[in-house]
Chains A and B, each alone.
Chain A
Amino acid sequence: MDAEQLLDIQGLKLNLPDGTRLLEGVSLRLNAGEALGVVGESGSGKSLTAMSVMGLLPGLKASGSILFSGQELVNLPDKVMRKLRGARIAMIFQDPMTAFLPVRSIGAQIDEQIRLHHRVSRREARARTVQLLERMGVPDPAMAAKRYPHQLSGGLRQRAMIAMALSCTPALLIADEPTTALDVTVQAQILTLLREIREEGAGVMLITHDMGVVAQACTHVAVMYSGLVVENGPVRDVLDRPLHPYTQALLAAIPPLDGPRPERLPTISGQPPTPDNRPTGCVFAPRCSFVRSECAVRPPLTEIEEGRRVACVLYAA
């Protein structure tokens, strides 16, 4: 039951022109039919990792490897990347209002995307657009296609953006905080949709800061901190039994929705380091309650059981 390996990121580093390192060597894997949640707090590098896969980082120097279906994406010429982007790898964003041009109907914009990658007539493109919108659960899709972005509700706009992203049946869908701006009831609808897309065989990479969203929409999770993956594994294993002290602290800081109400919430003292001020050893050491002398050397992301990797000296053999 070897699933097709869709994405294999190894030691991805990103530097600013002045040498500041934004990503410190990110390693991630994603198979077709799986959904990988990439979680972390602001500035942890989760969006930068996604943007690297899309090749949308002008001015930044990337090194390491991003294999997409066996093809190396790091430093791929723009012209080649443009053929992949939209067709084989698609992305949806937090704010659909900025993803659509405000002055054209959403149908026209989805038609355009289809005709950019496939040689079909306008009529065929529109038929496909309407079909896509219908599959995304947009009521009265033919009518909705004629509407302008501002005429749709937030939830419908997000569905339209997903329809546009899926218009060329990409093998990999990257979703950057797709539900953060939505109300919970609408978020639940979108998460169900993302799960269906995965079950139909696409790989999904979901960037989020919400552990609940990860639990609902993902099969695997990678936890990022300060430009590094500190832990990854199957979603149930990581959420039920987090290994890295950062993952543990992050989960403990979420106020519970049932059971007894704690007097105070456990917090993580201090703040994450800035990229130009990262510790040479374990990046989490200054805030970690288990810190010891070995933490002065940065621990590698090591597989400690089937499919579970963690970067922490506590689990060194």
Chain B
Amino acid sequence: MSVLLEARNLEKSYRLGRGRVLHAVSGVSLQVRKGEALALVGESGCGKSTLGRTLIGLTQPTSGKVLFDGQEISGLSDRAMRPWRARMQMVFQDSSAAFNPRRTVGESLAEPLRIHRRHGVRERVAELLDQVGLSQSVAGRFPHEFSGGQRQRLNIARALALGPELLVADEPVSALDVSVQAQIVNLFGDLRASLGVACIFISHDLSVVRQMADRIAVMYLGSIVEEGNGLNVLDRPAHPYTKALLDAVPRPDRALPPPLQGDVPSPVNPPSGCRFHTRCPIAQPRCATERPVLQPSGEGRQVACHYPL
């Protein structure tokens, strides 16, 4: 499959005043092929949401490039970006904040179609509702009349309105109850199969990610520490951080191993060398001074660790 989206050495930093700089994303390179689902996982503050927004052009990178279908889209003006927006869309976590409460959902679904001057708006809205498993008759209702799960379906329908080739979904199921979460996870699977749309899922929930993604990129303090086939990465993690994340997930079937100590260090003042060395159970002296780079380690996997597992 050909490459749809590519990031080259992406950096995003924010000036905080008094000379302090927060490096939200540092040196990230990745590719998403057509129709593929990539998951960005990591703890809060690891830069996964910032990376998602930068990839889709909602935030401009400080340096580095984003290419969509082979053409650079980073640095484009809002006007120049407009035709590209139809090809990539975002699905946000909080579906109740994503809709105008005073408009019917039909009007909200029609809005992107009108802005992009598409024809057959009414038919398209009906088709979208059908694709996300809602009855066409709900178009005249208001957002508050829907449950959380139904609103997330509407949220997805709106993102699909212009027929995008890429969806970026930031925690699309984490606000939902388990039984509803399973419905939305299945819906994404169905949509990928029927529409061939590529997806980037941003999530902290490893079991959800395992179900939804073909590939997984694990982030820690702004950088990717491990990346590869989803099942391989989660079943046989190579980076100690990936393993620690997996070990910390409470499971019904086995006791938790001793947890990782401490908190994620501040991205304003990240540790030297390998950024994970302050919490790593197998850190060596070398890890405090020399920063490991992302290197291939077989099975199409890449790991940034001096001593991979």
A residues with a Cβ closer than 8 A to B are: 41-42, 153-156, 183-189, 191-192, 209-217, 239, 249-251, 253-258, 261-268, 271
Contact = CB atoms under 8 A, between A and B. Distances in A.
B164 interface: no
5 nearest A-B residue pairs (beta carbon):
A212-B250, A188-B259, A255-B211, A41-B177, A183-B43
B178 A189 contact: no
Given A42-B148, A254-B182, A267-B182, 16 more contacts: A154-B44, A183-B43, A183-B204, A187-B248, A212-B252, A214-B252, A215-B251, A216-B250, A254-B178, A255-B210, A257-B206, A258-B234, A258-B235, A263-B189, A265-B185, A265-B186
Contacts, number: 115
Contact of A191 (B147, B231, B250, B263): B250
A42 to B, nearest CB: 6
Given A253-B181, A258-B235, A185 B206 contact: no
B246 interface: yes
B263 A155 contact: yes
12 contacts: A183-B204, A184-B204, A186-B263, A210-B250, A212-B250, A213-B250, A214-B252, A215-B253, A250-B179, A255-B207, A257-B210, A257-B234
B149 interface: yes
Contact of B179 (A213, A249, A263): A249
A188 to B, nearest CB: 3
A192 B231 CA distance: 28
A171 B256 CA distance: 26
A65 to B, nearest CB: 30
Contact of A187 (B179, B210, B250, B264): B250
Contacts of A212: 249-252
B288 interface: no
Most chain B CB inside 10 Å of its own CB: which residue of A183, A251, A253:
A183
Interface in B144-187: 147-149, 177-183, 185-186
Interface string B227-251: 0000100110000000011111111
B256 A267 contact: no
Contacts of B189: 263-264
B185 A239 contact: no
Contacts of A42: 148, 177
Contacts of A267: 179, 182-183, 186
A155 B250 CA distance: 17
Nearest to A259: B235
Contacts of B253: 215, 239
Contact of B210 (A211, A250, A261): A261
B76 interface: no
A120 B13 CA distance: 50
Given A255-B210, A257-B234, A258-B235, A266 B182 contact: yes
Contacts of B210: 255-257, 261
Contact of A41 (B179, B204, B208, B245): B179
Nearest to A217: B250
A72 B207 CA distance: 43
A271 B145 CA distance: 14
Contacts of B149: 271
B248 to A, nearest CB: 4
Interface in B51-98: none
B255 interface: yes
B140 to A, nearest CB: 20
Given A249-B179, A253-B181, A216 B255 contact: yes
A216 B43 CA distance: 20
A18 to B, nearest CB: 20
A147 B266 CA distance: 17
Contacts of B186: 264-265, 267
Contacts of B179: 41, 249-250, 253, 267-268
Interface in B12-52: 43-44
Nearest to B44: A183
A261 to B, nearest CB: 6
B138 interface: no
Contacts of A41: 177-180
A155 B263 CA distance: 8
A222 B181 CA distance: 21
A271 B147 contact: yes
A184 B207 CA distance: 12
Contact of A184 (B178, B208, B248, B261): B248
Most chain A CB inside 10 Å of its own CB: which residue of B181, B211, B248, B250:
B250
Given A185-B259, A187-B250, A212-B250, A256 B181 contact: no
B3 interface: no
Contact of B178 (A153, A209, A217, A256): A209
Contacts of A155: 263
Nearest to B235: A258
B14 to A, nearest CB: 19
Contacts of B244: 185
Contacts of B263: 153, 155-156, 186
A250 B248 contact: no
B260 interface: yes
Contacts of B246: 257
B251 A189 contact: no
Contacts of B259: 185, 188-189, 192
Contacts of B251: 212, 215-216, 257
